[in-house]
Structure 1
Amino acid sequence: MTVWDRPERPTRPVPLDRERIVAAAVALADEGGLEEVSLRKVAARLNAGPMRLYGYIASKEELFDLMVDEVQAEILPDTAPADWREALRVLAHRTRRTVLRHEWLADLLGGRPTLGPNGLAVTEARLAALDGLADIDTVLRAVETVSAYTTGAIRREIAALRAERATGLSKRDWQRANGPHVTRMLATGRFPALAKAVHEGTDVDAETSFATGLDWVLDAVAAQLVQP
């Protein structure tokens, strides 16, 4: 039985329910990451005893499932675009913005499908965007491909943000600090393709990089949706 199927216990003596528990856990994670989330800390924020939380949540893993489902509500647009490509693009960009608001979500994306109501609604929206445009197996592979790109790109962006905070160096500062080493290595002639990328490539921001890569993935999906 999943956490969504199991009924809640009565609220006593401190008013308590899963909604309040999850809200407190999300706030803790937003402030300090998943490592700050424990049943003890959540209970303390709610002025309740830690054991009381077990009447609503059986484990920290269940709490994480509820947290993920809670913030996935932010991914769903009010109105789904009629065009399949725009629908998938909107979902991908909204996923990215949601993770930027809740960085800890990057650590929980890409595993098993989430089975909460919001997680299922996000999956439904992705599948519905392509419904009727190809056979179901093609639709499934297309959604998996777009999701894999979205998750990978977001995780890379979050990793870069965390590295900046950990080192205290911005991207530009890091490049300046490591520039002499890179220049020496490129001067050896062993890395001609990399040298061309460094000297001739255009440096773009994370949002532009994400949008460009997403469009290329959607182009690939479109090629698979062409009907005979």
Structure 2
Amino acid sequence: MLVWERPEPRDRPTPVPLSRERIVQAAIGLADADGLDAVSLRKVAAALGAGPMRLYGYIATKEELLDLMVDAVYAEIRPSGDGWRAVLRSLAEDIRQAAARHEWFADLIGGRPQLGPDALAAGEAVLAAMGDVGLDTVVPAVAAVNAYVIGAVRREVTERRAERTSGLDKEQWQRAFGPYLERAFATGRFPALASVVRDGPHLDADQTFRTGLEFVLDGIEARIAR
């Protein structure tokens, strides 16, 4: 029986009351502070002041715990809006904001579909908003938005981690590598790249994300119109 359907143990008098919700929230707190490496059933039990074996009555494996953590974040993702375009935009923004609050979330999405109740609710809201658009368009359209968002969010998370590791923010990194690029461009071997770096738009993270998302939505709209 999957963890979503498996009953929790009965409450019993203990110095430290437990529930799946308390366990999951404690695990999220550890992951938010120190990443997924900080999450294990033993460490979560220690954070709750409980014995590790007690947690196994609620959660059988670390994989189940990670699934529950992801679904708890999906509870923060509530796509809404008037029409399919607004709802897909809302989905993208909500996922991005959730990953900003829970950086580890970006590491756990993008593989097999998430099947927890809150993830299913988010998916239902998106698919219901597609109205009478045919499934042959709906399925790849939603997949395209998800692929774009996951890729964009992971790039942003990677950038933040690089800043922490290197101690250089984006502008400092650009200044450090600028002389090397100028020498490379001076060879004449990379004229297209040189044009982009020197003359192209320099968008901030919000502008980059939203502009790319609109490109994807424009493509979906064109396909629906055909």
Which string of whole-angstrom CA distances, capped at 9 and with x for unpartnered residues, describes residues 147-175 of structure 1?
10011111111101110011000101001
Cα-to-partner distance string for 1:100-149 (whole Å, 9 max, x where unaligned): 0000000001011111111001111221121312x212111110011100
Q: Distance in 2 between matches of 1:129 and 1:194?
A: 40
SS at 1:113 equivalent: coil
Q: Secondary structure at the match of 1:225?
A: helix
Whether 2:64 is the aligned partner of 1:65: answer no
Letter in 2 for 1:53: L
For 1:93-112, list aligned pairs within 5 A.
Answer: 93-112=93-112
Other-structure match for 2:127: 127
For 1:10-56, what per-residue CA distance to the aligned partner results, in whole angstroms no more than 9, with x for missing partners? Answer: 23422101000000000000001111101111000111001111100
Counterpart position of 2:54: 52
| Contact 1:72 1:118 (8 Å CA) reproduced | yes
Note the residue ranges of structure 2 that are not aligned, 5 or more in a row: none
Q: Distance in 2 between matches of 1:21 and 1:68?
A: 13
Which residue is equivalent to 1:25?
27
Residue pair 1:146, 1:217 contacting (<8 A) in 2 also: yes
Deviations 1:57-107 (A, max 9, x none): 011010000000001111115xx2122111110111111011000000000
Give the counterpart letter for 1:90 in structure 2. S
Q: Contact 1:30 / 1:103 at 8 angstroms: preserved in 2?
A: yes
Supply the distance in 2 between the matched residues of 1:8 and 1:83 (Cα, whole angstroms): 39
In structure 2, the residue matched to 1:156 is 155
- Mapped to 2, the partners of 1:152 and 1:215 lie a distance apart of 15
Measure, in 2, the Cα distance between the counterparts of 1:155 and 1:125.
24
Is the CA contact 1:131–1:139 (under 8 Å) kept in the aligned structure 2? no
Mapped contact 1:3–1:57 kept (Cα < 8 A): yes
For residue 179 of structure 1, report the CA deviation from its aligned partner.
1.0
Q: Could you tell me which residue of structure 1 aligns to residue 88 of structure 2?
A: 88
Partner of 1:215: 214
Amino acid at match of 1:11: D
Letter of the 1:58 counterpart: A
Partners of 2:155 and 2:217 lie apart in 1 by 20
Q: Could you say which residue in structure 2 is the equivalent of 1:140?
A: 139
4+ residue segments displaced more than 4 Å: none
> Scaled by the length of structure 1, what TM-score is found?
0.96
Give the counterpart letter for 1:36 in structure 2: A
Alpha-carbon separation, structure 2, partners of 1:11 and 1:170: 49
Matched, 1:9 2:12: no
For 2:104, what is the secondary structure of its paired residue? Answer: helix
CA distance in 1, matches of 2:123, 2:45: 32
CA contact (8 A) 2:83 2:130 kept: no
| Structure 1 gap segments, 5+ residues each | none
Q: CA RMSD in A?
A: 1.0
Distance (Å, rounded) in 2 between the aligned partners of 1:156 and 1:219: 22
User: Which stretch has the larger CA shift, 50-59 or 82-91?
Assistant: 82-91
